[in-house]
Structure 1
């Protein structure tokens, strides 16, 4: 049942009279079901005393009136960010952080969710776009999960948890290694405040609601870490002329070396090296190598091909910190 906001009231009949703290301490409690969140709100604690005596006519036993106590509702919640340093790239959208919200109070309570993306201590502020509730409880965000809308909260039972996904966009200006922190905040809809704060008549069963040690306001951080990569390309040439020298004369052979270096903690995909055969030179057939291994000119299963005007070597996905070296040969036209 949805809790009323601060200042409102739950409409429940008053079932039991209130009792003093002294009466509570003196009561012999009846057995109750134990929960991590404590005795359930609205539970009844009942006690009847008895006395036995002999007034000359034999032993007699009499009972006192019964004292009934209703357990008030304790408002408590914890938030745990279960993912941190989630890999992302500059400009990436729908990047997911995962959190676990647990009702650590002793009554059903709804919690309002919000995020803070500028808490400090990081390198950039992620742009939060949406919050989702894990509808199928598989722990993984998918578009069929429930989009969170403020005001649509439903109560979470005592000791129960829900998985919450926060989706955000990484700034296009973020660079490799940058961290972006997002805080998820869960606040009890009945009310928050300093521990011990009382909301009269707003607890489960018509009792009071009491703010617990968490302030009924839990939060925790999740973080993204940018794993970006950059590519640098260096080309060099070595000439061997027909006379054993290194002069660029007709008939001289030129060996071109192209080195692609990937830097950063991320990786690049679809990396390809293309080089047009220079004017006034002829390509030397079957001269392409990758990492020193010969490749064919045909557009076949290996990484290279020559189409009559340029060579191409398909390198695919290359992680940061690695290099790829391609060579090929041409000959300066002699006539």
Structure 2
């Protein structure tokens, strides 16, 4: 090896060392960007500097498609039967290195596990998707915008989305309706229109901007399919009321209060016990209405007494003498209102009548 060739070899090693020392760019470089890297080579011959050389390389950053959807919070949405415009909230994030349109869909689950260690058992109705314009997690009519896709979402940008539904009447306490929100990446098609479906580049890397799907598997979607899904659910909080009506004889005109019998002129006490199952939501303004048969005469002296407790044995209710409120009678119908009956609680309405 000549002296000159040894020098050139050393210069080549130095140039490679310089190339290897260049720092790598972070994994968020914008798709379509070009990265140019230039190497310079200098050398001397007999201590005299010679004309050097250089070489450049330019590459195009490919498009990495990635997105996530996640429910906001970690608990179910508690709803009441018959409630409208009930909200579950999600955050949709474009974690790609390019802007995307994101198509949205909300699907009802048919049985199976919900989002919070529960089981889907009913469907909500009138399911809609809105962009939560003010990010307050509440449906604001006239403010939040109904959407089927998110337009021109920038790389690393997040958007809060709400799924709004109505809850049918008649659902049992604890029933669950699971809803899945899916976002699917689309081409950024320009403001005001949803772009075309994304197509992943197949085969070897090209000189242009290739497309690579890099998304994970969500709640029901597949790995690397340019989509991501997440679940949330609605759980019913309802009152579960039951009523028992029992009667007992107080006295009759022959025997008085000693072993009285159900003969004309006898006084009967009616005990109406309203119970709310344990774990149920509190029932408010519970109205009781009981028409009096024509062969009974309402006892005005005793009146209608409300708000007491009762003992229930084998389906028979015995009201305690601890009432706190009063009811009324009109058109031969007894009425009483219980301000509230909490879960696991029993409240009563009591009145008396005489057999004609």
What TM-score do the two structures reach when normalised by structure 2? 0.68
Match of 2:4 in 1: none
Match of 1:207 in 2: 209
Gap change, CA 1:316 and 1:173, over 3 Å in 2: closer
CA contact (8 A) 1:261 1:323 kept: yes
Match of 1:273 in 2: 288
CA contact (8 A) 1:28 1:47 kept: no
Q: Deviation per CA, 1:170-194, whole angstroms, max 9, x where unpaired?
A: 455654433222211111113457x
Secondary structure of the structure 2 residue equivalent to 1:246: coil
Please say if 1:158 is aligned against 2:159.
no
Q: Distance in 2 between matches of 1:82 and 1:137?
A: 11
CA contact (8 A) 1:186 1:217 kept: yes
Please say if 1:188 is aligned against 2:198.
no
Higher relative contact order (CA 8 A, sep 6+): 1
Q: Deviation per CA, 1:119-177, whole angstroms, max 9, x where unpaired?
A: 54132344453111111122322222010045xx4121222211111123445565443
Please say if 1:53 is aligned against 2:43.
yes
- How many angstroms does 1:286 deviate by? 5.7
Q: Give the one of 29, 37, 59 matched to 1:39.
A: 29
Match of 1:124 in 2: 122
Q: Deviation per CA, 1:88-125, whole angstroms, max 9, x where unpaired?
A: 34554433222111111111111111122245413234
Q: Give the one of 164, 174, 178 matched to 1:177.
A: 174
Q: Distance in 1 between matches of 2:228 and 2:100?
A: 13
CA contact (8 A) 1:119 1:183 kept: no
Q: Distance in 2 between matches of 1:55 and 1:81?
A: 69
Match of 1:198 in 2: 201
Please say if 1:246 is aligned against 2:260.
yes
Match of 1:137 in 2: 135
Gap change, CA 1:61 and 1:106, over 3 Å in 2: farther
Q: Distance in 2 between matches of 1:211 and 1:307?
A: 73
Gap change, CA 1:129 and 1:312, over 3 Å in 2: same
Match of 1:300 in 2: none
CA contact (8 A) 1:296 1:305 kept: no
Q: Give the one of 226, 241, 244 matched to 2:236.
A: 226
Ranges in structure 2 where 5+ consecutive residues have no aligned partner: 1-15, 113-119, 188-196, 217-223, 309-320
Q: Deviation per CA, 1:274-330, whole angstroms, max 9, x where unpaired?
A: 335563342224662422544465xxxxxx445685543322343443221232344
CA RMSD, 1 decimal: 3.5
Please say if 1:313 is aligned against 2:336.
yes
Secondary structure of the structure 2 residue equivalent to 1:139: coil
Q: Distance in 2 between matches of 1:172 and 1:243?
A: 47
Gap change, CA 1:63 and 1:256, over 3 Å in 2: farther
What TM-score do the two structures reach when normalised by structure 1? 0.72
CA contact (8 A) 2:87 2:137 kept: no
Secondary structure of the structure 2 residue equivalent to 1:283: coil
Secondary structure of the structure 2 residue equivalent to 1:110: strand
Structure index of larger Rg: 2
